[in-house]
Chains A and B, each alone.
Chain A
Amino acid sequence: MNKAKPMMSNRTLTLQVNGQPQTLEVPSGQILLETLREALDLVGARNSCGIGMCGTCTVLVDGMAISSCLTLTAQVEGKHITTIEGLSQNGQLHPVQQAYIDHGAFQCAYCTPGLILSTVALLNEHVNPDDATVREYLAGNLCRCGSYVNILNAVRACHTIND
């Protein structure tokens, strides 16, 4: 009795990852999170819940925050993907990253790359968001250590960055 599942076919595609074109051969059913972590060694996006509930796998696709655990790599062919590794430029931290440090907005930091990328997306969409908007926007990124108050302070500080 052979219960083995059929093997997935591979597919060659090109992604724009952190500003660089990446041509990869990946199984057609592979999720973006696995491609980033395994093929590209970009481990800032993390697996945790596997069902899009916790936000640790958040990356930006054309500037929008998405769950890379629910996204097939094939779905984002040709699109621009920003991971936490691509946020700092020339060794300079992104202002949101610096704000998170300045306000002690993390503990174990497993959630932090996802939260920072969601914050970047939030600030792309909203100029000087009020606290209620921030809470609503970031509610998809869980922090089990419970650094939410400091995260809110960090995001508030980012307002002045935009000004």
Chain B
Amino acid sequence: MAIGKSVPMLDSVARVTGTVPYASNLKLPDMLVGKVFRSSVPHARTIKLDVSAAEQLPGVVAIVTAADFAGDDTPNLHFGSTIQDQPVVAGDRIRFIGEPVALIAAESVVIADQAMDLIELEYEEIPAIFDAEEALLPGAPVLHEAFPDNLLGHSKLRRGDIEAGFAAADEIFEEVFSSPVAQQASLETQVAAARWKDGKLTVWTGSQSPYTVRRVLSAIFDLDVEDVRVIVPPLGGGFGGKGNIRTQPMAAALAWKVGDRPVKLVMTRAEEFLTVTKHAAKIIVKSGVKLDGTFTARKVTIYWNAGAYASSSAHLVPAGMLRALGPYRIPAGHVDSYGIYTNLPIAAAYRGAMSSQGVFAHESHMDTIAHRLGIDPLELRIKNLLRTDDIFATGERLHDIHFVECLEAAADGLGWHEPLQRENGTVKKRGRGVAVMMKNTIANSSSECRIKLDAEGRVTLYTSTVETGQGGHTAMAQIAAEALGVPIEALTVIGPDTAETPPDAQTASSRSTHMMGNAVLNGAASLRQHLAEAAAPILEWSPEDLSVADGYVFVTTQPQERIPYAEVLGRKNIAALTATGKYWTNEGKLDPETGQGISTPDWHQGAGACEVEVDTQTGKVTVLRYHSASFAGRVVNPTLAGLQNDGNVIFGLGASLLEEVAIDGGQITNPNLSDYMLPSFLDIPVELKNVSLEAEGSTFQGIGEMTLPPVAPAIANAIYDAVGARIRDLPLTAEKVLRVIHEQGEADDEQ
């Protein structure tokens, strides 16, 4: 049994010897260096762009500007996976500081940097808008003429009579929460290299979405999709930031202009912050509650700051809507989720995308309610959490629901019911908090794979699942090995290459283990069938009388009559047997006015519980202990699952306590890992534990994000428990905690 074992990652030796072939290591013959000339103003009309001096610099091979897209036979300037609003390079309009304006291909970085200094850009600034809510106001500067109110998407959820629900409540609670712009900060930055040959394009890139990249590049260059080949080696981290389309169009356009040499474009750390960010969000939560802690209604309004172009926001805004109410029994629920253009860099998925912001809001809100009503925060949640067969706000009947088990596992791990020593006679005070999350996955999507068994008994799995570091290829190999009855050592996994590996929506939203995992099971079942058919004439039984397992085809009623796989192929003179596997879901088609329908094949579920210490003199928060739980259904690899759970918590600690992209007039002022701090060894709790919950009869469920969104509210709730300070604005910095402590002190003095 390969499933359920902590098999080391298939390429572990490469990982500890430094030989993983990341895109950033790619070297091709005659390869040129790509460089991006960027805008320095947030909103402007371009008057003149002069690249002639730069073009004449020796060693500069090509410069791409919007003028290269202006003819009839030229590529299309604008692209987008959903809304085609984004130019490869800015044309007559600049919409954020750092927007690409010109692209340089040169013999070296030194020459490219010199060419940058020779580019002259004249522009006329126009008023800019940075705040999402203000961008909706009449008279606000408009970014895209096709969207005169700056609204790129508005998702609505309408369930029950909301006003009657509030009228029936004993108490109404309304709070406003905010989350800042953050950055995914993969340690390997964005990379794309491109080469054209005979009118066909090949791109090597660190991307979570190889098939989206292929589709969009084929649209930009008016090519058949088969004439675009996208190859994705293992990634040095992704976390959502490498999903959708990022730098690939720029690399492809440079190589197109150059003609006969490949061009590689690698973002600097500072450019990474200009390439993709996390959505800042303002969230207003209003709840009607009975004194016994029963909910009567909840209304949530979310303003997502999408930045200058829609990118993946068009489909993320509806996802944010679904996750906003929280996993609770609430008879009347309304959500308005607004995706809004502003003059900031593009926002897109950041691990726990569109969940973390909403979970911070509804889980902090739950504690406000619990404390006011005098109910234990854990008890209030358990009383109201959704169970299997409950009807969710979309009208869908829920299945495989384990919110209570997740929350109890985390709380029990922490010792929620044990006494807590809150003070020890110093300025430090301790408190505890819990939180729980729900998220839908990408519905209405499909995954395919191909499995090949050769005459030596080796199995090759072709999959477009991206190895982001999550161990996706190892998990797929385990699933294939078990389903085919071969040792894991017999498996080779061929990663994403659109010329070789079948289509897959993308490696995102924790979908791969479930979607691709089930595609692998489907493909393995076909391959077993092929084996039975091939072995039938040899064993002189019909295929339906044969079984295929543990390396043998055998007669089901007489297992001693058997033949090894390799021998089947050898005796039939077959070089290899191949089968394709597919898995898809058709959910996700919701009524646009009410959000009613079946939103997701499965709900992702997770929880967390923590103990913090707050220094009341400095405001510094230390997370001493953290316990997380996710619902895994069936665990494929316990070590890798544990790394997802712990990794989520650590990622969440960054967003909770440290991470905020500081922006002044549209200018990011901390685009480096000194001023934008990521969690280090010194930031993690001394006690950090996790559990992946399984259930009888369950299949593999995604766990790539589930323990992340609860982190911020669990800590915020623990801070409140410790010192009575409610922080509604992430990150939970010492300055904010101290300010609230001081405000409380002043209020106490006045009484």
Contacts and interface: CB of A to CB of B under 8 A. Distances in A.
B643 A50 contact: no
Contact of B680 (A42, A47, A142): A142
A84 interface: yes
Given A48-B269, A49-B269, A110-B236, A144 B678 contact: yes
The size class of the interface chain A forms with chain B is 35 or more
A85 B236 contact: no
13 contacts: A4-B114, A5-B110, A48-B189, A49-B672, A49-B673, A53-B673, A84-B17, A93-B16, A106-B469, A110-B237, A112-B16, A139-B681, A144-B186
B637 to A, nearest CB: 9
A28 to B, nearest CB: 13
A138 B682 CA distance: 9
Interface string B111-142: 00110011000000000000000000000000
A93 to B, nearest CB: 7
B271 to A, nearest CB: 11
B117 A4 contact: yes
B673 A145 contact: no
A84 B639 CA distance: 24
Contacts of A109: 14-16, 20, 236, 469
A149 interface: yes
Given A84-B16, A144-B239, A146-B650, 14 more contacts: A5-B117, A48-B188, A49-B673, A53-B672, A101-B13, A104-B640, A106-B469, A107-B237, A109-B16, A109-B20, A110-B469, A112-B15, A112-B18, A146-B643
Contacts of B12: 101
* Shortest 8 CB-CB contacts between residues of A and residues of B: A44-B18, A108-B469, A146-B650, A110-B236, A146-B647, A109-B15, A107-B469, A84-B18
Contacts of A128: none
B22 A110 contact: yes
A160 B470 CA distance: 29
B25 interface: yes
A108 B650 contact: no
A61 interface: no
Nearest to B680: A139
B646 interface: yes
Size bracket, chain B contacts:
35 or more
Interface string B2-40: 000010110011111111101011000000000000000
B625 to A, nearest CB: 13
B236 A46 contact: yes
Nearest to B114: A4
Nearest to B690: A149
A30 to B, nearest CB: 10
Interface string A44-69: 11111111011010000000000000
Contacts of A152: 681
A136 interface: yes
A97 interface: yes
A54 B57 CA distance: 35
A43 B191 CA distance: 15
Contacts of B651: 144, 146
A127 B380 CA distance: 50
A108 B237 contact: yes
Contacts of A1: 53
A97 B17 contact: yes
A135 B682 contact: yes
B230 interface: no
Nearest to A138: B681
Contacts of B465: none
Given A54-B673, A101-B8, A147 B16 contact: no
Contacts of A53: 672-674
B506 interface: no
Contacts of A16: none
Interface in A1-20: 1, 3-5, 7-8
Contacts of A87: 17
**Most A Cβ at <10 Å: residue of B18, B647, B672:** B18
Contact of B639 (A56, A104, A145, A151): A104
A116 interface: yes
Contacts of A56: 187
Interface in B595-637: none
Q: Which of A45, A100, A104 has the most CB of B within 10 A?
A: A104
A3 B118 contact: yes
